Amino acid sequence: MLAVDLLLTLAALATAGQCLLLPGLFRAVTNLMAFGLVMALIWVRLDAPDVALAEAAIGAGITGALLLTALGQLPASQRQLQHVNYRFPHLFIPITIIVLFIGSLVWAAMLSLPKLGLVKEIAATLPYSGAEHAVTAILLNLRGVDTLLEIAVMLCAVAAIWSLQQAIPPPVLAGVNYPGLTTLARWLHPLFLLTFCYFLWQGTHAPGGAFPAGAVLGAGGVLLLLTSNIEWMHQRAYNPLLRWLLSAGLLLFLATALSGFLMTGTLYGLPPPLAGYFIIAIEVATALSIALMLMTFYLFGRPGNWP
């Protein structure tokens, strides 16, 4: 299996290098998508299938769709500039040597550090966290503030995108049709929903939960935007509902933190009999919010420009 690991390492370096060095934005995007697929295989080799599926859904799926659509929105003059003669940078080799040298020093320093951890402390508090797996307990209870801030950052990204322009009409209304993609979507959507439910269930006793589930469902939602006419996300009448759905995960997370503070005097300090129910509610609401955020990224602007 060492040969497989070396092959994946070389593939990751090759796709990343081509993304940075080859001329043309289209080549850069396609190589970035290939890099995401290679990283998904690397996560599989590291026994993290949930992270692998999330990487494939976001790194190769949603990110690729976003960048390809953004590339299509560029003016023709800017797209033509990508076909100029390309010269290999003369400083590439010295810079590569310096980066490898610094990286080797950092890696050696990491290996020399003592192996610290909180395994015993987490195992002692796991029965009172409301979760059966340490990863879920850390993300949604013991270090819930970190996860709360991650969701807040995603919501800020949605607000930033909405502040730039109005939403772009879906491809179906623009007269663009993808016959093969429509058929593929019909076959894949049940699989997206099944994987979403499986990750939510898996998060109760193994690595998984809201973020991988939301990533997979969001990828299915972007595919739905490409192949279907989802008018409600663009209509002004549904704007308040869309905003509340986007904020549901963050609001429920905040409500849980404040509830724990009121009951025990500590943020997320939930009583053990109720902690499990709170975590299930947080996971479902957060996963749905993450999926909807990924879909709204693909709108490329603030919806509501239709009556």
Phi/psi zone of residue 204: left (φ > 0), alpha (ψ -120 to 50 degrees), beta?
Answer: alpha
Mean pLDDT computed over every residue of the chain = 79
pLDDT of residue 83: 46
Rg of the chain (C-alpha set):
22
216-224: average pLDDT? 84
pLDDT digits (tens, 9 = 90+) for 41-81: 998 888 877 788 888 888 878 888 888 877 877 776 665 54
Reported as a pLDDT band with limits 50, 70 and 90, residue 102 is: very high
The total number of residues shown for the chain amounts to 307
Please state, for a pLDDT cut of 70, what percent of the chain lies above it. 86
Distance (Å, rounded) from C-alpha 32 to C-alpha 185? 23
- Look at residue 106 and tell me whether its pLDDT is greater than 80: yes
Confidence of residue 298 (pLDDT cuts 50, 70, 90): confident
pTM reported for the whole predicted model: 0.76
Q: How far apart are CA 88 and CA 60, in angstroms?
A: 27
Question: 306: which strand partners?
Answer: 235
Delineate the domains of the chain, giving CATH numbers in brackets. 1-116 (1.20.120.1200), 121-307 (no CATH)
pLDDT tens digits for range 125-156 = 777 777 777 777 777 777 778 888 888 998 99
Q: Quickly state the pLDDT bin for 171 (edges 50, 70, 90).
A: low
